[in-house]
Structure 1
Amino acid sequence: MTPPRETPPAAVGVVLAAGMGTRVGADGNKAYLPLAGRSMVSWSVEAVARSANVTRTILVFRRGERDLAARTLAAEVPQLRVELVEGGDTRHGSEENVLRHLAPDIESGAVDVVLVHDAARPLASAAMMDTAVTTARTRGGAIPVLPAADVVETDVDGRLSPPDGTLVRVQTPQAFRARPLLDAYLAAADGSFEGTDTASCVQNYTDLEVHVFPGAATNLKVTFAPDVRLAERLLQDRISRSGTR
């Protein structure tokens, strides 16, 4: 009798869409702004779900918006299977909620990597998701970065100089081994820590090594009104090149 085949551990891709859109000028949640014929959130969810290394996809929705999230996904990416988890009052709270949702599978070993991506980065590629997951699986943690070439340093006399080359801008997707990531958020729940991103909590509460890999200039975060227009143009260009939406 052939023994049953073991199911390999899974990587879970999480899209955070529980924020507001005040700086971008949106009346409500900016994740649902239309971009190139679809909502921003559906572009981001699809990028995560299309990764060959992501087995499960979760959308973290803002409290009171479950029906909106479900309707949007059903209308725009009906071919994708996406779980829904309610977010918290902050980014950190939303991450904690989804990790508590995944805790039984993380503790059993069924999930070995968790990837976290911002809904406000609709131009990230599936290849970037793949790199994040494979790097996290082998090295512990992975974040995409770009050189911060448009900043300067000042000395005590107020003189300006270029940075030393070590300053970078951090993007998402960010991916980490699941068990230390869960442990970090459980530890943070006992205090008043509010991380600016996933990596900050990991670095505060674990010894996990977080490795960087090249980000992409096109992987912009839609924060202000001009970002909406730029993201729309870039997505339209992508559609024109590929011939698909």
Structure 2
Amino acid sequence: MSTPVEPYAVGVVLAAGMGTRVGADGNKAYLQVAGLSMVSWSLDTLDRCADVARVVLVFRRGERELAETTVRRELPAAAVEFVEGGDSRHASENNVLRYLAADIDSGAVDAVLIHDAARPVAELDMFATALAVAREFGGAIPALAVPDVVWATGAEIAAMSGAGAPVRVQTPQAFQAGPLLHAYRAADRDGFEGTDTSSCVEAYTDVEVRTFPGEPRNLKVTYARDIAVAERLLIDRAQRPRR
């Protein structure tokens, strides 16, 4: 994957969490699902995204060798960069933005996609949509209208299921790179730590964060039972013609 002359997007996969509820002995991002580790499924999808010029894996402290070995073995043709994560999601995102800061400040990077390794089934179309919406409006978050999850408001949510309806937020999420970096620099200065990327962006910028329809198949592997579901979905996807 070569870096283009025009401003480009960077895709980030977060694999620095603990994931204890899934019952794994180690980091669940490296659990094998349908022939690949979960993290490799996400990296492979980003690597095939035409609008993404660079792919970065944020690994848990002490797991650099595991991360590099996994990618080298499972995705030998992929160009993946590695950044050590922090003690929280916010800290991990802050680390990767510091890593990208010079290229964002120069204008070389105009958008950043952020995705959880625990969502290995996310389709290529979701990444492309998130990036297109973010480039137009500032930020993009996929959301599913479901009962008893999170309360949210906004035109997009209202269009999906009525104002004030509960929604489940997913990844991939995307943001214009300049405002995103500004938000995390300001948060670092103030000691603010958001619950997710958009909360930090909304706290420190005037960027419009839009929602777009999420995908029910894009489950987050949280419990042991989710692994079997993800495996079935990935096997089904692998049997479809690759675009």
TM-score (norm 2): 0.90
**Same amino acid, percent of matched pairs:** 63
Matched residue, 2:155: none
1:95 Cα shift?
0.1
Distance (Å, rounded) in 1 between the aligned partners of 2:102 and 2:163 = 44
Matched residue, 1:17: 15
Matched residue, 1:90: 88
- Deviation per residue, 1:101-157 (Å, 9 max, x gap): 00000000000001100000001111111111111111111111110235699xxxx
Distance (Å, rounded) in 2 between the aligned partners of 1:133 and 1:74 = 27
Matched residue, 1:101: 99
Give the paired residue count.
230
> Which secondary structure does the structure 1 equivalent of 2:21 belong to?
coil
1:109-124 matches, cutoff 5 A: 109-124=107-122
Matched residue, 2:177: 178
Matched residue, 1:209: 208
Quick one: which of 43, 46, 49 aligns to 2:44? 46
2:201 equivalent to 1:223: no
Q: Contact conserved, 1:147 with 1:169, CA < 8 A, in 2?
A: yes
Q: Which runs of 4+ in 1 moved over 4 A?
A: 150-153, 162-165
1:212 Cα shift?
0.8
For structure 2, the 5+ residue unaligned runs are: 152-160
1:198 Cα shift?
0.8
Q: Contact conserved, 1:56 with 1:82, CA < 8 A, in 2?
A: yes
Q: What RMSD, in angstroms, separates the aligned Cα atoms of the two structures? A: 1.9
> Which secondary structure does the structure 2 equivalent of 1:233 belong to?
helix
For structure 1, the 5+ residue unaligned runs are: 1-5, 154-161
Q: Contact conserved, 2:29 with 2:37, CA < 8 A, in 1?
A: yes
- Deviation per residue, 1:197-217 (Å, 9 max, x gap): 111111111110001111100
Query: Which letter maps to 1:137?
Result: R
Q: Contact conserved, 1:19 with 1:29, CA < 8 A, in 2?
A: yes
Query: Which letter maps to 2:195?
Result: T
Distance (Å, rounded) in 2 between the aligned partners of 1:166 and 1:207 = 24
Matched residue, 1:57: 55
> Which secondary structure does the structure 2 equivalent of 1:69 belong to?
helix
Matched residue, 2:193: 194
Q: In terms of mean alpha carbon deviation, does 209-218 or 195-204 score higher?
A: 195-204
Distance (Å, rounded) in 2 between the aligned partners of 1:48 and 1:219 = 15
1:165 Cα shift?
5.2
2:30 equivalent to 1:32: yes
Rg bigger for which structure? Answer: 1
TM-score (norm 1): 0.89
1:48 Cα shift?
1.5
Per residue, is there more helix in 1 or in 2?
Answer: 2
Q: Contact conserved, 1:10 with 1:110, CA < 8 A, in 2?
A: yes
Distance (Å, rounded) in 2 between the aligned partners of 1:241 and 1:128 = 17
Distance (Å, rounded) in 2 between the aligned partners of 1:127 and 1:163 = 25
Q: 1:22 to 1:164 in 2, by over 3 A?
A: same
> Which secondary structure does the structure 2 equivalent of 1:11 belong to?
strand
Distance (Å, rounded) in 2 between the aligned partners of 1:191 and 1:229 = 42
1:96 Cα shift?
0.1
Query: Which letter maps to 1:227?
Result: D
Matched residue, 1:239: 238
> Which secondary structure does the structure 2 equivalent of 1:146 belong to?
strand
